[in-house]
Amino acid sequence: MTGRAGAGGRPGGDVESLDRAARVYRLAMGAYPRRWRARYADEVLGVLLEPAGNAGPAVDWREASSLVGNGLLVRVEELFGWCTRRTREVAAAGASMMLMVVSVAALVFGEWLPRRAGAPLLSIEDADVAAGWQAAETGFGTPGLGTIVCLTAMVGSLCTILGRARAGQGWFAVTAAAALAAPLVSAVVPVNRPLVMHLALVFGLAMVAAAAPVAVRPGRRAWVAGGVAAVAGVALLWVFSSVTHDGDWSTTFYDVYLVTRPISDAVSWVTIPGVLVVAVVPGLRRHIAAYLLMCLPWWLQQAGFQQLRSLLAPDTVPAFIGLAALLILAAVGLARLRQTYRLERINPRP
């Protein structure tokens, strides 16, 4: 390590760190379209390296991630610049609805098809084999991870809605990392592979990424209320159908898993990085949080909740308690959002 330069110039080590910082920032600016880089890249680099002075700059990773996020947004804007904002909103809402319909259809189809075909009910052990699971002998496996993913998302949503944006952002980062870790862990460690929690998780994320800005705009409260009612309703139906289930969980487990796995894998790898990027863009944080909260009854019921229930007790009491807690949470979130709408009506944002 070289010493610090005098007033005359930079020492060799600082030149190295300058080059490194410039390289990192240029790499991050690769997220912008070429046109934008030609116009602004030099300027942005100058701004980012200016505070260093003679001390030599360290890479500011927040700046780098901000560049990536903004760059992707500029690309999206350019991609959809040909259509009006209204058209984009309608398209985003349509895509979200479609995703919801497809996901629910996949779940229903996965349950119905084997029964229609007269497929025999398998024991849980046989179903595990059919679904390619590896049973956990002991310890903490991906079901536990799924639960954590849901809980961290819940905390992140609440933090953001309550105005603790920075804390919320951290929780979302943890959520995304855990969501990413779940399939990876299951691939390399002999523990239970994720059940439908994978799909449920990414389903929520995809809906958030696609529809959040539309759903929570002032005047769209009906969307929010409808969303909450829909996800809570589906979750309740699921719980009640579980209560009257014939006792053999194997069809629920392996069929749903087999049908939905390709969808869940494809969607998850696309949406998780996307949500991470969107989560650091200030203007969208509240929207994401609101929509996450809307998805939570569905989410947690599918992912962590079912795991928790099987871990804690065979009856459904914890299920109802968990669901009730989530609905209360959603109600609190909605009350908070109403307040936000009122404020935005008085002082609208563009």
Partner 1 sequence: MAKTGMQEPTFLVLTALAGGPRHGYAVMREVTAASEGRVRLRAGTLYAALERLEAEGLVRACDSEVVDGRRRRYYELTDQGAARLAEEAARAAANAARAKRALAARTARAARTVTA
Residues of the shown chain interacting with partner 1 in the complex, contacts defined by CB under 8 A: 36, 40, 42-51, 62-63, 66-67, 69-71, 73-74, 282-283, 346-350
Structure tokens at 184: 């990876």
To partner 1, the closest distance from the beta carbon of 285 in angstroms equals: 13
To partner 1, the closest distance from the beta carbon of 55 in angstroms equals: 15
Q: What whole-number distance in Å separates Cα of residue 179 and Cα of residue 201?
A: 8
Q: Which is nearer to partner 1, 51 or 314 (CB)?
A: 51
To partner 1, the closest distance from the beta carbon of 70 in angstroms equals: 4
To the nearest 10 degrees (0 to 180), the angle between helices 61-79 and 34-49 is: 160
Phi-psi region of 237 (alpha: psi -120 to 50; beta: other; left: phi over 0): alpha
To partner 1, the closest distance from the beta carbon of 282 in angstroms equals: 8
Q: Which is nearer to partner 1, 233 or 282 (CB)?
A: 282
Q: Which is nearer to partner 1, 190 or 283 (CB)?
A: 283
What are the C-alpha distances in Å from 295 to residues 62, 140, 211? 28, 26, 11
Q: Which is nearer to partner 1, 5 or 74 (CB)?
A: 74
Structure tokens at 166: 């920075």
Say if CB 137 and CB 267 are below 8 A apart: no
To partner 1, the closest distance from the beta carbon of 47 in angstroms equals: 4
Contacts for 323-328 with beta carbons within 8 Å, 24 or more apart? Answer: 323/232, 323/235, 323/236, 323/239, 323/297, 326/232, 326/235, 326/296, 326/297, 326/300, 326/301, 327/232, 327/297
Q: Which is nearer to partner 1, 45 or 177 (CB)?
A: 45
Q: Which is nearer to partner 1, 91 or 280 (CB)?
A: 280
Q: Which is nearer to partner 1, 48 or 149 (CB)?
A: 48
Q: What whole-number distance in Å separates Cα of residue 212 and Cα of residue 289?
A: 8
Q: What whole-number distance in Å separates Cα of residue 113 and Cα of residue 122?
A: 15
To partner 1, the closest distance from the beta carbon of 71 in angstroms equals: 7
- Residue with token string 């390590």: 1
To partner 1, the closest distance from the beta carbon of 1 in angstroms equals: 23
